Amino acid sequence: MSKPRKKYFIQEHLQEPYLNGGIGYTDIERILQSEGYQPIFFPCHYSYGVIAKIRRALYLLKLFFFLPSGSLVIFLHPQYATMNKTLVRLLGKRKSIKRVAVIGDINGLRHGNKAILQQELALFAGYDHLIVHNPKMKKWMEEQIPSSSISVLHFFDFLTEPKKTPAVQNTELAYAGNLAESPFLERLNELLPQNEGVLFKVYGQPYSPRLQEQRNLEYMGVSEPYGLPAKLEGAYGLIWDGNGLEAAEDSIADYLNYISPHKASLYILSGIPLILGRDAGIADLVQEHGIGILLDNLHDIKQALAAVSTDEYQAMCANCRELAKQIASGACTKQALLEMQKALG
């Protein structure tokens, strides 16, 4: 019988306060700890003096030389701290150590920067295994790196209590996220008058002057992430980004065609169906689980809402509640870890 691997992960998010999708990274690290992975956390994290840099460098050398042979080390990509990025490269020189990347973001794809994307792909190719968002991202990654070993999350886990109050069918849509990456919200007036009565209840920041001009938008402020599912108001949760009301008009909007956005998990825990573009990265998952509506453009929202019967709406809500149990328990990450362990042997 082979000796059990020592399991580690590079901690970079547990200690950080988040008000947006970064909370998904924190929960992955929490799940890794619960599954027996030991955190690697460089000393003097918030100090940049000479002594702090020396201590981090010594810790880096200790990890490189003394991390047990055959260890499994999980990195959450992208890594931001310099020492963490250096450790990724150094451990690649120790062939007995298995390196796994959980893909949080692909910045080159997100920002439409081909040079950065090529750097990221070269880095991904060096890992022994990748954990990606969903089957669509897996297919894309296999096209870029045919030899890659990959498992999928499907949805980001969200370790908080699902909302208990049942949703009420109406024409109110919740939208949560980084509003700086959602300039389409500043064009919601263009949906009038054909979508009269549809109200967008928006959570996040910054609340720009242009947002205040939208007559079909109600600003709901900023809430602590783990408490937001219980507070979220709306009959549906909208997944959309970028500039366009019709389709992907920029890299941020196009990025939705590959990822599982954390706001999807937020809406599911709030017990409300999703509304998203037909080409979205999770569109197939939404159809498979029966938890939402697919659109070609936002001008069709009122018509799409009117086409949903009471029974259909209640069925989607019930499916959200069932899926929420898995997401709130960390089941998505745990299943991906099991698939990873099986692939690595």
Specify whether 40 is located in the same domain as 125: yes
- In sequence order, which ranges of the chain are alpha helices (DSSP H)? 23-34, 50-66, 82-91, 107-110, 114-125, 135-144, 209-212, 228-231, 251-255, 262-269, 283-289, 301-306, 310-329, 331-344
Please tell me the predicted confidence (pLDDT) of residue 20. 60
pLDDT per position in the chain (345 positions), as tens?
456 789 999 998 887 666 565 799 999 999 999 999 999 999 887 788 999 999 999 999 999 999 999 999 999 999 988 899 999 999 999 999 999 999 999 999 999 999 999 999 999 999 999 999 999 999 999 999 999 999 999 999 999 999 999 999 999 999 999 999 899 999 999 999 999 999 999 999 999 999 999 999 999 999 999 999 999 999 999 999 988 998 766 778 889 999 999 999 999 999 999 999 999 999 999 999 999 999 999 999 999 999 999 999 999 999 999 999 999 999 999 999 999 999 998
For the chain, give me the number of helices (H) and strands (E)?
Answer: 14, 12
Range of the domain at 125: 7-157+330-344
Please tell me the predicted confidence (pLDDT) of residue 114. 96
Structural domain count, the chain? 2
Specify whether 337 is located in the same domain as 323: no
Specify whether 178 is located in the same domain as 128: no
Specify whether 55 is located in the same domain as 94: yes
Specify whether 98 is located in the same domain as 188: no
In a domain, 1, yes or no: no
Looking up tokens 């992960």 gives 9
In a domain, 95, yes or no: yes
In a domain, 317, yes or no: yes
In a domain, 163, yes or no: no
> The tokens of 55 are what?
């201590």
In a domain, 166, yes or no: no
CATH code of the domain covering residue 120: 3.40.50.2000
Please tell me the predicted confidence (pLDDT) of residue 265. 98
Specify whether 197 is located in the same domain as 309: yes
Specify whether 178 is located in the same domain as 39: no
Specify whether 54 is located in the same domain as 106: yes
Specify whether 136 is located in the same domain as 278: no
The size of the chain, in residues, is: 345
Specify whether 304 is located in the same domain as 337: no
In a domain, 137, yes or no: yes
Specify whether 90 is located in the same domain as 70: yes
Reduced to 3 DSSP states, what percent helix, strand and coil does the chain have, rounded to the nearest 5?
Answer: 45, 15, 40
Report the alpha-carbon distance of residue 227 to residue 94 in Å, rounded. Answer: 43
In a domain, 164, yes or no: no
In a domain, 167, yes or no: no
Residues 142-148: contacts with CB under 8 Å, at least 24 apart: 145/121, 148/124
From residue 227, alpha-carbon distances to 165, 203, 212 in Å are 14, 13, 25
Non-local (6+) Cβ contacts of 263 within 8 A are: 21, 176, 177, 237, 239
Specify whether 64 is located in the same domain as 150: yes
* Contact by Cβ (8 Å): 101, 124: yes
